[in-house]
Amino acid sequence: MLEKKSQSDIKVNNLNLVLKTIIKNEPLSRADIVRLTKISKPTVSNLIDELIQRNLISEIGIGKSSGGRKPILLKFNNTKNFFLAFEMGRGGYRIAVSDLKGKILHKSSSEFSPNITLKEKLEEIKKSIIELLKRANISTNLITKSICLTPGIYVEKDKELKLLPYNGKNEHYDIKEYFKSFLKQDLYLGHATKLSLLGEKIAGKARGHKNVIYIDFAYGLGTSIMIDGKLYYGSFNSAGEIGYFYSSIEEFRNNDIKPYEFGTLEKHISGKSIAEKGKESAIKKPESKILSLTDGNIDRITAKTVFQAAKMGDISAILILKESFDYFNMALSNLINLLSPELIILGGGFSKSGDFLLNLIKGEIHDKVLFTPEIVLSTLQEDASIIGGIHYLIEKTDFLKEL
């Protein structure tokens, strides 16, 4: 009985090896697979027959030959099923469908109307998913796995990601159950910032690097960490919450962490805090460019407005950013000295300011760290989290059992 089980395990392991070899190196001939896997020719032939029968691979034609019989080439059936990933941010959402190798085939995005509820956001995303799948001619039963990417925090051991409050309050809406009702499958919840770094590793600036920090400048302030080529989540999945860093002994003494409230560093630097500082400055100095950029409407001032005004030379905006980034650069220097990364990737809304953002950071930390890492802007931008989410699903999928 033990020998039979062992033979079964060997067969499964060999099937997996052959399938992964084809996926990575396709198109391949049977002889190529024998050479790459070191499995005997008769065994490879039997394994190939089974994979073809299960519609996981296909014969696609005749390859070149250096002499003798021309080989038949094999490829992975990458459109047998699909993956679905969607990111729900505060201001908008993005949706993508990929093939089984992670290539994005169809995608869409849109902004939310102001002040709508979380439930209304979920309804809008659901409608857009249905429309996208219809345009792509993909039925929901062909979706192997799905993931929702969102900002949030892990506040309980062994519990899943919790959304940060929307519209100033936490609506406690069960996202997984909502989408399960029409996708007819469980939904993974993923932290958008953490999986953005996975996206950068797969297709962005982190390719070829092992020790990387990804900073997400958004409504809040998030960080993702890669150590020795692997995302570091920490014991409770909460690694990277840089927003909760303390900036002084007074802050440490007078502030406690409250999971659904901004951390002390985020109160100094984040999309929300810089927008608030911009509004305060506009009230005191209505002649500033901060206010003129919004045609005198204080409620329309955002962090982007402050960056625009600063790039135009507005002193008030420059002072806001200088003070805010003093706090950030102090935190980043501590993080660099602790982890010694080779690369820092800046993503999120602030990163669209380009070299202006880099200049707020690079020159300020140079003499504050033991070793200065390379600091770059994300080129994937909003696609980073989607790509990361899709490849997270690939890592979680057993193609032999689940396809």
Sheet containing 221-227: order of strands: 230-231, 221-227, 212-217, 343-348, 374-377
In this model, does residue 167 exceed pLDDT 70?
Answer: no
Q: What is the mean pLDDT of residues 283-300?
A: 93
Q: What is the largest CA-CA distance in the chain?
A: 85
Identical fold at 82-196+385-402 and 205-379? yes
Q: Which of 93-97, 119-123, 247-251 has the lowest mean pLDDT?
A: 119-123
The pLDDT > 90 percentage for the chain reads 78
Q: Map residue 35 onto helix, strand or coil.
A: helix
Q: Using pLDDT thresholds of 50, 70 and 90, give the confidence band for residue 78.
A: very high
CATH architecture of 2-76: Orthogonal Bundle (1.10)
Answer yes or no: are the C-beta atoms of 276 and 301 closer than 8 Å: no
Answer yes or no: are the C-beta atoms of 36 and 21 closer than 8 Å: yes
Give the pLDDT of residue 158: 57
Structure tokens, 317: 């905006």
Give the pLDDT of residue 159: 62
What ranges do the domains of the chain cover?
2-76, 82-196+385-402, 205-379
In this model, does residue 277 exceed pLDDT 60?
Answer: yes
Q: What is the mean pLDDT of residues 280-308?
A: 94
* Contacts with 159 (C-beta within 8 Å, 6 or more apart), sequence order: none
Q: Which of 164-178, 239-253, 305-319 has the lowest mean pLDDT?
A: 164-178
Answer yes or no: are the C-beta atoms of 386 and 199 closer than 8 Å: yes
CATH architecture of 82-196+385-402: 2-Layer Sandwich (3.30)
Report DSSP state, residue 242: G
pTM, two decimal places:
0.91
For residue range 168-217, list pLDDT tens digits in order. 555 667 788 888 888 888 889 889 999 999 999 999 999 999 999 999 99
Give the pLDDT of residue 171: 61
Question: 205-379 falls under which CATH superfamily?
Answer: ATPase, nucleotide binding domain (3.30.420.40)
Report DSSP state, residue 262: -
